[in-house]
Chains A and B, each alone.
Chain A
Amino acid sequence: MWLCRTALAVGLALAPTMLRAATSDEAVGAVKKTLGAVLSVVNADGTRNEKLRSLRTLARKILDTHAMGRSAMGAVLEAQPPEQQQEYLELFDQLMVRTYLQKLLLFRRPRFAYGTPLQKGAGVIVRTKIITSNDEYLVAYEMRKDERDWRATDVIVEGISLTRNYREQFASLLRDRSFEELLDLMRRKTRRLREEPM
């Protein structure tokens, strides 16, 4: 009886840790799976456009660009009509996916390494390194689980958050422009990006 009570107590005490470990593993697994798939696409046969299409799909799977977009715009977005909010989120998605892929593709033949994940509230920070022959570059993914999958709500490159970077740019632009003007800037930017190869 005493043994059963002790086992239960130990089990209950370790449960959160074990649960957290399982949770972290899932988050790390999601990042590993995506980066592995990115490498496969980059190294596979196919045209540049085909590869970019596949990479965009992979990026959208791992990046929760809507959460990032809402975080980057903050309360200003809530004050906008729903159709403008929707358009902003779509434009932000295109910009963020491009930014992420550009940073990733800057490295010709990247090698990825994974550090110990960190629990952050309900989320997990998955720490990765891009290793080249001469240096290492730190990229961390702030992961949260939505209804089904683990997705990144922020990407932190060398200690600088991409979402925060956008937030600062938006705040700076909104100091002397309206939301509609900012939206127009994003429209023009994405239109031009569609015409140009990455």
Chain B
Amino acid sequence: MKALLTIMSKDLRVIGRDRAALLFLVLVPFVVVTVLVQSLAGSDTGSLLLPVVNEDQGPVAEVLIETLSEYAKVVEVDRAKAEDLVAERKVAPAAIVVPAHTTKRYLTNRPSTLLLLTDPAKGAAVRAVQAYMLLADRKAAEIADPLFERLIVMKEVNLTGSRTSIPPAEQNVPGFSVMFVTMGVLFGVAFGLHQEREWGAITRLRLAPIPRVSILSGKLLARYLIGLVQLVLLFIYGHFAFGLSLGTAPLALGLVMAGVVFCITGFSLLVSSFARTREQVVPLGLTVIMIVCALGGCWWPLYHMPPWLQQVAQLSFTTWAMEGIHDVILRDRGTLSILPGLGVLLAYGTVCLAIGARLYRLDAT
């Protein structure tokens, strides 16, 4: 145990001396997370372009446009321009035509047919526009029909937390934080072990009366602590900079973070064990990181992926990491509720560690 701690503190000192590596670990993720969160903040449906052809020019069309503007970026254009935006330039998923005399028909309780010009290739966005139309139509129907009775009233009740809407930062900050911690730990572990092996430090350690498991554990523990600190700092930054919720159970969040970084560390050893040379580390590491981050919902929500891919994603630790983090910060789950997911992360990390330790040869050259 003493040897493990000594190796860990030695590694921390070595890492501390490498200013460039520290800069990468501390500064770069913050800058990139800031840029990405800001650029992806507009990817929710609020920035969806919705051309409206207002042939009515009456107050009902104004009410419709006002209602739709709450959900999408509405631009009033003529019919030709609307068709161009949807069909030719493909920048809008759909356009709405409010026909002439809609207001007069509304005032006399006669129905009007609004035209929805769509680009079926943008399926999800078109469905969003259709939903907005229903909302706007309901609002307008209440205006027109004095006895209009809403027998089915829509009231949103969030069963998994206290909020009814989740800002994009709640997806992006945890996702990119997990990605950067994975990069930091994986490359740290892989390069660290290869470097020491090449410099002969491992051989010297192996000659000392220190068990092999202590050498490896000490090195991994150093990387684990750095990864954990990095993840905590990124979440604190996300909280203050982007209003990221930290949930209602700090202990649960702490446990999930610890579990996530443990899993990342185990996974990093496993991947490192496949890289036989330093040159193999970067392509192998980058490929694996890109795949697990894309698959595990670090870059976009899992529900954006096809169902079969969502099933495949269960094999990636990032899926469990994101699920655990979301359980705490979005669904306000407590410590007991996150234990099953935490168990999966710990088991995943342990299996990776065991396989990685078995495959990794400390004295290989």
A residues in contact (CB < 8 Å) with B: 95-96, 98-99, 102-103, 106-108, 132, 134-135, 137, 157-160, 165-166, 169, 173, 185-186, 188-189, 192
- Selected from A96, A102, A134, A157, the residue in CB contact (under 8 A) with B143 is A102
B340 within 8 A of A: no
**Interface mask (B194-210 → A, CB under 8 Å = 1, otherwise 0):** 00000000000000000
Task: Using known A-B contacts A107-B59, A135-B58, determine if residue A189 contacts B147 with beta carbons closer than 8 Å.
Answer: yes
Contacts A132-B58, A134-B57, A137-B107 known; list 10 others, CB within 8 Å: A95-B146, A106-B63, A106-B103, A135-B104, A137-B58, A158-B108, A166-B147, A185-B147, A189-B147, A189-B149
B62 within 8 A of A: yes
- Selected from B59, B63, B110, the residue in CB contact (under 8 A) with A132 is B59
| Residues of chain B contacted by A98 (CB below 8 angstroms) | 146
Q: Smallest CB–CB gap between A91 and chain B, Å? A: 11
State whether A158 touches B149 (Cβ < 8 A).
no
7 contacts between A and B (CB under 8 A): A98-B146, A99-B146, A106-B103, A165-B146, A169-B146, A169-B147, A192-B150
A-B contact count (CB 8 A): 52
Which residues of B (87-113) have their CB < 8 Å from a CB of A?
103-104, 107-110
State whether B147 touches A95 (Cβ < 8 A).
yes
Q: Smallest CB–CB gap between A24 and chain B, Å? A: 25
A189 to B59, CA, bound (A): 25
| Residues of chain B contacted by A186 (CB below 8 angstroms) | 147
State whether B147 touches A135 (Cβ < 8 A).
no
A188 to B151, CA, bound (A): 11
- Selected from B103, B146, B150, the residue in CB contact (under 8 A) with A137 is B103
- Chain B residue at smallest Cβ distance from A186: B147
State whether A188 touches B149 (Cβ < 8 A).
yes
| Residues of chain B contacted by A132 (CB below 8 angstroms) | 58-59
State whether B62 touches A135 (Cβ < 8 A).
no
- Chain A residue at smallest Cβ distance from B147: A169
A17 to B331, CA, bound (A): 77
A102 to B59, CA, bound (A): 12
Task: Using known A-B contacts A108-B62, A165-B109, determine if residue A158 contacts B104 with beta carbons closer than 8 Å.
Answer: yes
B residues in contact (CB < 8 Å) with A: 57-60, 62-63, 103-104, 107-110, 143, 146-147, 149-150
Q: Smallest CB–CB gap between A113 and chain B, Å? A: 17
A99 to B63, CA, bound (A): 16
State whether B57 touches A135 (Cβ < 8 A).
yes
State whether B109 touches A160 (Cβ < 8 A).
yes
Q: Smallest CB–CB gap between A131 and chain B, Å? A: 12
A96 to B59, CA, bound (A): 20
The 4 closest A-B pairs by CB, nearest first: A134-B57, A160-B108, A99-B146, A106-B59
| Residues of chain A contacted by B59 (CB below 8 angstroms) | 106-108, 132
State whether A185 touches B149 (Cβ < 8 A).
yes
State whether A166 touches B58 (Cβ < 8 A).
no
A108 to B59, CA, bound (A): 8
Q: Smallest CB–CB gap between A6 and chain B, Å? A: 51
A98 to B146, CA, bound (A): 8
| Residues of chain B contacted by A99 (CB below 8 angstroms) | 146
State whether A137 touches B104 (Cβ < 8 A).
yes
Q: Smallest CB–CB gap between A169 and chain B, Å? A: 5
State whether B143 touches A106 (Cβ < 8 A).
yes
Highest count of chain B CB atoms <10 Å: which of A96, A134, A169 = A134
Highest count of chain A CB atoms <10 Å: which of B103, B147, B149 = B147
State whether A157 touches B149 (Cβ < 8 A).
no
- Chain B residue at smallest Cβ distance from A106: B59
Task: Using known A-B contacts A106-B60, A106-B63, A135-B58, determine if residue A158 contacts B146 with beta carbons closer than 8 Å.
Answer: no
A96 to B146, CA, bound (A): 8
| Residues of chain A contacted by B57 (CB below 8 angstroms) | 134-135
A98 to B58, CA, bound (A): 20
- Chain B residue at smallest Cβ distance from A168: B109
Q: Smallest CB–CB gap between A22 and chain B, Å? A: 32
A95 to B110, CA, bound (A): 19
A158 to B110, CA, bound (A): 11
- Chain A residue at smallest Cβ distance from B108: A160
| Residues of chain B contacted by A166 (CB below 8 angstroms) | 146-147
State whether A134 touches B109 (Cβ < 8 A).
no
State whether A134 touches B147 (Cβ < 8 A).
no
Task: Using known A-B contacts A102-B143, A106-B143, A185-B147, determine if residue A135 contacts B103 with beta carbons closer than 8 Å.
Answer: yes
State whether A134 touches B58 (Cβ < 8 A).
yes
| Residues of chain B contacted by A160 (CB below 8 angstroms) | 107-110
Q: Smallest CB–CB gap between B275 and chain A, Å? A: 65
| Residues of chain B contacted by A185 (CB below 8 angstroms) | 147, 149
Q: Smallest CB–CB gap between A181 and chain B, Å? A: 12
Q: Smallest CB–CB gap between A5 and chain B, Å? A: 53
